[in-house]
Amino acid sequence: MTSLRVAMIGYGFMGAAHSQGWRTAPRVFDLPADAEMAVIVGRDAAAVAKAASKWGWAESATDWREVIARDDIDVVDIVTPGDSHAEIAIAALDAGKHVLCEKPLANTVAEAEAMAAAADRAAARGVKAMVGFTYRRVPAVTFLRQLIAEGVVGRIAHVRASYRQDWLVDPDMPLAWRLQKEHAGSGALGDIGAHAIDLVEFVTGMDVEQVSGVLDTIVKQRPLLGSGSGLSGKAAAGYGQVTVDDIAIFTGRLASGALASFEATRFATGRKNALAIEISGDKGALAFDLEDLNSIQFYDRTAPADQQGFRKILVTEPVHPYVAAWWPAGHMLGYEHGFSHQVKDLVEGIVRNTDPHPTFADGLRVQRVLDAVERSSNNDSVWTRVAADVPVHS
């Protein structure tokens, strides 16, 4: 195999990020096969043609079904809203195409189960499927997982994870698709809370088995797109109902019995993209914040008392995950680099016939945690067990 021809379905914000990954990875990493940006697909012919020209896709199209049916397409990258993930992914897998699908995997557990089943069928024919939990591929996060596996924090007692943004604080922010349950599935919980859940399970190697939580919608109506701005003085017809959560706060119990606290909010005033995690153990602690993504904080409880305290580790050395392909030590990486790392891992998995992670089974696992949080919130925050008939998180 010398080349993989890629079709990307969708061209919004994630389309730009994924295009960066496909365009850059073959030029930075020594991949076992080239990745050709063959075609980008969207419903608006003029807009998707413009995106193709801007981001480097060879051609554009408006019918994803026709593109999936083409013999010259090897990989389908799905960056559409969640309500179309299942239909596109299942069709692509059944057509023998490798699939990369943005997170969360689906809008419902039933859809995610159908997608995982399709991935299992496809795997028997050597077809690969991966979920885009890209923050796993920030070098500092992958390094964090390595350190925990090596036992530097000892027995984990408590994990704290949060993903905080503030882009909905303004009540005049229009009613976008991310605020409509029929398109997004859920709000802050699924959009950014899914990242926090995956991050905890990825770095600790443990599943979240039970949850107790609450969801809330702070601004319940927003201006319709194109209706103008300002809630005061506007006709009711100019507004639509927000049908997803703005904030999710919940507790989880890990497989070891340790507790984890989670927060996902779009109302954290002043926080732009603050995905953070801290793991506390009997030998030490580790912490990471996406707003300082080239470093981690390490507390060594085994050090002499006069030398204890959190210290910063700059994760930019060639020995750190993914870093050797980039710049000299101390020359920082950014948000976009994770998408290049994602392409690297997917292409290597396809060519070498290994399962690129996270798999659709992993995506289903996170979907079931999201579902359990929502059920707990609807039932006075009672402890709710996460469905357990999924393989251990990889």
Asked if residue 390 is part of any domain, the answer here is no
As a whole number of angstroms, the distance between CA 22 and CA 13 comes to 15
- What pLDDT score was predicted for residue 265? 98
Same-domain status, 206 and 69: no
Q: Considering 86, 114, 135, which residue would you say is the last residue of a domain?
A: 135
CATH at 257: 3.30.360.10
C-alpha 18 chain-centroid distance: 12
Asked if residue 198 is part of any domain, the answer here is yes
Handedness of CA 96, 363, 202, 275 (dihedral sign): positive
Q: Which whole number is the average pLDDT over 289-305?
A: 97
As a whole number of angstroms, the distance between CA 218 and CA 224 comes to 17
- What pLDDT score was predicted for residue 270? 97
CATH at 11: 3.40.50.720
Q: Which whole number is the average pLDDT over 332-357?
A: 97
Percent of the chain topping pLDDT 90: 94
As a whole number of angstroms, the distance between CA 108 and CA 113 comes to 9
Confidence category of residue 225, pLDDT binned at 50, 70, 90: confident
Same-domain status, 250 and 150: yes
- What pLDDT score was predicted for residue 188? 97
Q: What share of the chain is helix, strand, coil (3-state, %, to 5)?
A: 35, 25, 40
Same-domain status, 126 and 150: no
- What pLDDT score was predicted for residue 394? 39
As a whole number of angstroms, the distance between CA 218 and CA 169 comes to 9
Confidence category of residue 21, pLDDT binned at 50, 70, 90: very high
As a whole number of angstroms, the distance between CA 22 and CA 186 comes to 28
Does position 334 have pLDDT exceeding 90, yes or no?
yes
As a whole number of angstroms, the distance between CA 109 and CA 131 comes to 15
- What pLDDT score was predicted for residue 231? 39
Give me Rg for the CA atoms of the chain. Answer: 21
Same-domain status, 130 and 168: no
Tokens of 106: 């689906």
As a whole number of angstroms, the distance between CA 83 and CA 253 comes to 29
Does position 391 have pLDDT exceeding 70, yes or no?
no
Q: Considering 135, 157, 177, which residue would you say is the last residue of a domain?
A: 135
Same-domain status, 109 and 144: no
Same-domain status, 274 and 306: yes
Q: Which whole number is the average pLDDT over 300-306?
A: 96
Same-domain status, 110 and 61: yes
Asked if residue 103 is part of any domain, the answer here is yes
Q: Does residue 318 have a cis peptide bond before it, meaning omega lies within 30 degrees of 0?
A: no
Q: Which whole number is the average pLDDT over 48-70?
A: 98
Confidence category of residue 388, pLDDT binned at 50, 70, 90: confident
Q: How many CB atoms lie within 10 A of CB 369?
A: 27
Phi, psi of 157 (to 5 degrees): -105, -35
Confidence category of residue 228, pLDDT binned at 50, 70, 90: very low
Asked if residue 120 is part of any domain, the answer here is yes
Asked if residue 76 is part of any domain, the answer here is yes
Burial class (CB in 10 A: 0-12, 13-18, 19+), 275: buried
Same-domain status, 50 and 174: no
- What pLDDT score was predicted for residue 233? 41
- 372 is in which domain, residue-wise? 136-385
Tokens of 145: 């997982």
Q: Which whole number is the average pLDDT over 282-298?
A: 98
pLDDT in tens, 102-159: 999 999 999 999 999 999 999 999 999 999 999 999 999 999 999 999 999 999 999 9
pLDDT in tens, 233-264: 444 458 999 999 999 999 999 999 999 999 99
Same-domain status, 255 and 292: yes
Q: Considering 113, 135, 157, which residue would you say is the last residue of a domain?
A: 135
As a whole number of angstroms, the distance between CA 153 and CA 146 comes to 11
Percent of the chain topping pLDDT 70: 95
Does position 78 have pLDDT exceeding 50, yes or no?
yes
Asked if residue 394 is part of any domain, the answer here is no
Asked if residue 391 is part of any domain, the answer here is no
Same-domain status, 209 and 271: yes
Q: Specify the pTM.
A: 0.94
Whole-number average pLDDT of the chain: 94
Residue 267, CA distances (Å) to 26, 167, 241, 245, 347 in order:
38, 7, 18, 11, 37
Domain count, the chain: 2
Same-domain status, 258 and 288: yes
Same-domain status, 106 and 171: no
Q: How many CB atoms lie within 10 A of CB 292?
A: 14
